[in-house]
Amino acid sequence: MDYQTYGSPKGRPVFYLHGTPGAPEEAAWLADAAQANGLRILALQRDSLDLDVQGEAYIAALAAAIWRLADGQPVHVLGFSIGASLALRVAAQLPTPAAGVWLVSAAAPLEWPASWQGMGAGRYTFAMAQKFPRLFSWVGAYQGWLARHFTGVLLSTLFQGARGADAQLLGQIERREQLTRVQQQAFAHGAGAYLRDVQAYVQPWAACLPAVRAPLHMWHGDQDNWAPVGMLQGLLEQFAGQAQVHWLADRSHYSCLLDAAQPLCEQLAASLSE
């Protein structure tokens, strides 16, 4: 599987799983903090994996790719949004427990009723993917077309109803440019990878969580309505005594990733030094 590298070229490896719709370009937001803390972030380019690999076979392929790239070194996984759900599912399948799993704005299993409480427009996307997958594939193809030709329209749609600091991101030129690059990269080869990620997410997967035996570190904005706080509370109940949580006041989804970059990379570096 292909990947992009951010931070220190010779630093200690951390595997990054991006959100959806998202792309490895997200990890650029962590690059300076990773460089300062001696970390090499390997952002997996999931659209380089054969799109015929779906469902649990997809999760197994991600776990195998990370295990192979780690080449005997301790595995540290960092996941954002739906990428956080993939990080948990990958950790459950590794041959030996991960040394650490970091979750930012984590998306939790949808079979938990609390996961739906307080969710914004994403609830309609996920419900459509569950109940009307063919219609969802058409909508995803349209989103891909927008990303390639009218990225601003797609961003405005995605951020409609955004709360907390996320509501101001599109008004900040640098942030808007970063988000534009992420969405353009996300759909550069069509909507197939996006559709696969969402379909993998909306299927039941909570049953794998007891197999996650790694220390967990969670970062979450208290205004998040993409991955509402009920999701994090459900994960904390599941991993009682195993997880450490950092709440970011007035931060939502992307703003949590942006503001967590420095302290999270410091925490990662300290963990890798132990």
Q: Which domain holds residue 100?
A: 3-273
Q: How many domains does the chain divide into? A: 1
What's the pTM value of the predicted model, to 2 decimals?
Answer: 0.96
| Per-position pLDDT tens, the chain of length 274 | 899 999 999 999 999 999 999 999 999 999 999 999 999 999 999 999 999 999 999 999 999 999 999 999 999 999 999 999 999 999 999 999 999 999 999 999 999 999 999 999 899 999 999 999 999 999 999 999 999 999 999 999 999 999 999 999 999 999 999 999 999 999 999 999 999 999 999 999 999 999 999 999 999 999 999 999 999 999 999 999 899 999 999 999 999 999 999 999 999 999 887 6
Cβ neighbourhood burial of 72 (10 Å; 0-12, 13-18, 19+): exposed
Is 185:24 a contact under the CB 8 Å cutoff? yes
State both tokens at 235. Answer: 């994960």
pLDDT on residue 241? 87
Q: How far apart are CA 78 and CA 157, in angstroms?
A: 27
Query: Cα-flanking dihedrals φ and ψ of residue 145, to 5°?
Result: -65, -45
- Bridge partners, residue 14, by sequence: 41
CATH number at residue 205: 3.40.50.1820
**75 to 78, 90, 118, 239, 271: CA distances (angstroms):** 10, 11, 33, 19, 12
pLDDT value, residue 274: 66
Q: Where are the alpha helices (DSSP H) in 31-132?
A: 31-36, 55-70, 82-91, 122-131
Measured distance CA(99)–CA(188) in Å, rounded = 33
- The C-alpha atoms of residue 178 and residue 123 are separated, in whole angstroms, by 25
Q: What is the Rg, in whole angstroms, of the alpha carbon atoms belonging to the chain?
A: 17
